[in-house]
Amino acid sequence: MPTSPKRSGLSPEQRRERLNHAHEQLQSAVENLTSGHGWHAMLSARAWLRRYSLNNLLLIMEQYPEATDVRPLKQWNQVGRRVRKGEKAIRILAPLRYRSEAGDPDASDDADANTKPRFEVRGFTTAGAFDVAQTEGTELPDASAADPQELRSLAPAALWDHVATQITRRGYGIERGDCGPAYGHVDFTARTVRVREGVEEAQAVKTLTHELAHIVCEHNTRPEASRERREIEAESVACLVANLAGLDSLPYSVPYVAGWAGDAATAHASAERVMAAADEITAALQHAAPSAT
């Protein structure tokens, strides 16, 4: 028989009510993505709350818009901080994990990777978490230390080199030159990325990241996506990556997106794609940075 997860003291009706309420909040937050303000807020929050899925990020924003560092109670206790009395938990979605019948019945949870039992998700419940502002205790390290600090200390030229490497590894050449009214352009047929000459280095590297985002988001294979949607996705990825690399572009370079998505589902799908692409590029930057120091 599969093992059930531990149950809280809530009744089934209370658990169902909490879950329904969380879904209602999530739907409201997803609908907000179709506005310029909502999209900008999502990008700003993602820059600091990277440990959460898009849906949980939206739930956190809906309940606690000023959140900067959200963790479960146990994790706060582990770093020497306590939630202040009377603080209301932020409700997020948590998977219900069951031991799979296909797993090794003789394996224990602390066995090695080859013998650990398999688990499967059979739905979701809600779990409580708290923002750092709701806690007190041991002083935390500077939040910037969680970002790719090596990139923050490098000149824009080094960041250009790391982004350029990701482009060339995907089989594209890079050139500087005239781009007409645009800062940059990616030619999927010729497999070439071009960035305008004569612009500030920070602008140039953000443009290069924008073009990389077009490639990572596979905009050449998505004819159903409008040009506006492709540009919003690419610029959003570039803003996230630039911000995490130490270039403060979020306040002024996020495009105005009110009305760009005809429905919340389209906005949600684009947001998921933006998050995945930004995480993929940033992970590669973090891996490359130590070799440049």
Q: Are residues 160 and 127 in the same domain?
A: no
Q: Are residues 266 and 179 in the same domain?
A: yes
Number of domains in the chain: 2
Residue 66 lies in a domain: yes
Q: Are residues 129 and 25 in the same domain?
A: yes
Q: Which residue has the higher pLDDT, 181 or 208?
A: 208
C-alpha distance across the termini of the chain, in Å: 53
Domain boundary among 108, 125, 140: 140
Residue 3 lies in a domain: no
Looking up tokens 């690419």 gives 234
Q: Classify burial at 195, counting beta carbons within 10 Å of its beta carbon; exposed 0-12, middle 13-18, buried 19 or more.
A: buried
Poorest-pLDDT segment among 166-170, 223-227, 288-292: 288-292
Give pTM, 2 decimals: 0.71
Range of the domain at 32: 12-140
Q: What is the pLDDT of residues 1-24, one digit of tens each?
A: 444 444 456 677 777 787 787 778
Domain boundary among 72, 107, 140: 140
Which residue stretches of 47-181 are H helix? Answer: 54-63, 73-78, 149-152, 156-169
Residue 7 lies in a domain: no
Residue 1 lies in a domain: no
- Rounded distance, CA 9 to CA 155, Å? 54
Looking up tokens 């140039």 gives 204
Tokens representing residue 219 in the block: 């905009």
Q: What is the pLDDT of residues 248-283, one digit of tens each?
A: 776 655 554 545 666 788 888 889 999 999 999 998
The answer to whether 227 and 260 have CB atoms below 8 angstroms apart is: no
Q: Are residues 42 and 74 in the same domain?
A: yes
Residue 5 lies in a domain: no
The proportion of the chain whose per-residue pLDDT surpasses 90, expressed as a percent, equals 38
